Amino acid sequence: MKSINVTASFLVYDSIDELAPEIKDLMVQAVVVRKKAYAPYSKFRVGAAILLDNGKVVLGSNQENAAYPSGLCAERVAIFQAGAIYPEAKILKMTISATADSKEVSEPIPPCGACRQSIAEYEIRQEQPIEIYFMGAVGEVYKSDSLKSLLPLMFDKNFL
C-alpha cells in the first residue's frame, strides 16, 4: 500500500480592490449579474463572468426551477453560453461571486462539483488553464491558476 498527497495552492486577495483592474472589472460584472439570479427557492445567488481570448465577456447567473434539479448554476450557464456563442474561443478567466438573501456571505464560494467537472471539460479541451477567482458578496477573493487546483483528480475523456 502507498499514500499519495494532493495539495492545492491559491492566492488570497483581501478584497476585490486588490485585484488587477481587468480582473476587478470582471468580478464587478459577476456581482452585477449575481443580483439578477433567479433563486426563489434557495435564496442563494451566484454570478459568473468569463473573459474569452477574443476579448468578449460572457455572463451567467444561477437559474432555479421548482422541478429540482432542473436548474443550472451560474458557472455552467456562463460556460455553456460561451461554448455555444464562441465555440472557437478559449476561456482565459472566470470570476464568481455568491451570497444569500438572508445574510451577506463573506467567505469565498468555489464552484460546486458539477460546475468543476464542466469547467474541467473546457480546460482540457482548450489545452490551457482557466484562472478562476471566487468570492462571497464581500471579503477575500481566492485565485486558482487552474481548475486542476479545485479538482485535482478530475475525470476526463481519457478514461472513456
112 annotated among ligand-binding-site residues: yes
Q: Give mean pLDDT, residues 139-143.
A: 98
DSSP state letter for 105? -
Q: Give mean pLDDT, residues 132-155.
A: 94
Amino acid type, 25: D
Q: Helix, strand or coil for residue 5?
A: coil
d(CA 116, CA 140): 20
Mean pLDDT of the chain: 95
Whether residue 3 is contained in a domain is answered as no
Does residue 160 carry a pLDDT above 90? Answer: no
Number of independent structural domains in the chain: 1
Residue 140 falls in the annotated catalytic set = no
Model pLDDT, residue 68? 82
Q: Give the model confidence (pLDDT) of 43-72 as tens digits.
A: 999 999 999 999 999 999 999 999 988 899
User: pLDDT class for 30, splitting at 50, 70, 90?
Assistant: very high
Q: Give mean pLDDT, residues 83-112.
A: 96
Model pLDDT, residue 129? 97
CA atoms within 13 A on the CB side of 150: 26
Whether residue 60 is contained in a domain is answered as yes
Does residue 139 carry a pLDDT above 90? Answer: yes
Answer yes or no: are the C-beta atoms of 150 and 111 closer than 8 Å. yes
Whether residue 56 is contained in a domain is answered as yes
Model pLDDT, residue 128? 95
81 annotated among ligand-binding-site residues: no
13 annotated among ligand-binding-site residues: no
Pairing status of strand 141-144 against strand 57-61 = unpaired
- Alpha-carbon torsion angle 57, 137, 13, 107, nearest 10: -130
115 annotated among ligand-binding-site residues: yes
Does residue 14 carry a pLDDT above 90? Answer: yes
C-alpha cell at 4: 499519495
Q: Give the model confidence (pLDDT) of 96-108 as tens digits.
A: 999 999 998 999 9
C-alpha cell at 73: 448554476
Could you list the residue range(s) of the whole structural domain that residue 35 is in? 12-150
Model pLDDT, residue 69? 83
CATH number of the domain to which 116 belongs = 3.40.140.10
Amino acid type, 129: P
Does residue 159 carry a pLDDT above 90? Answer: no
User: pLDDT class for 88, splitting at 50, 70, 90?
Assistant: very high
| Selected catalytic residue, list 18, 75, 131, 140 | 75
C-alpha cell at 147: 481548475
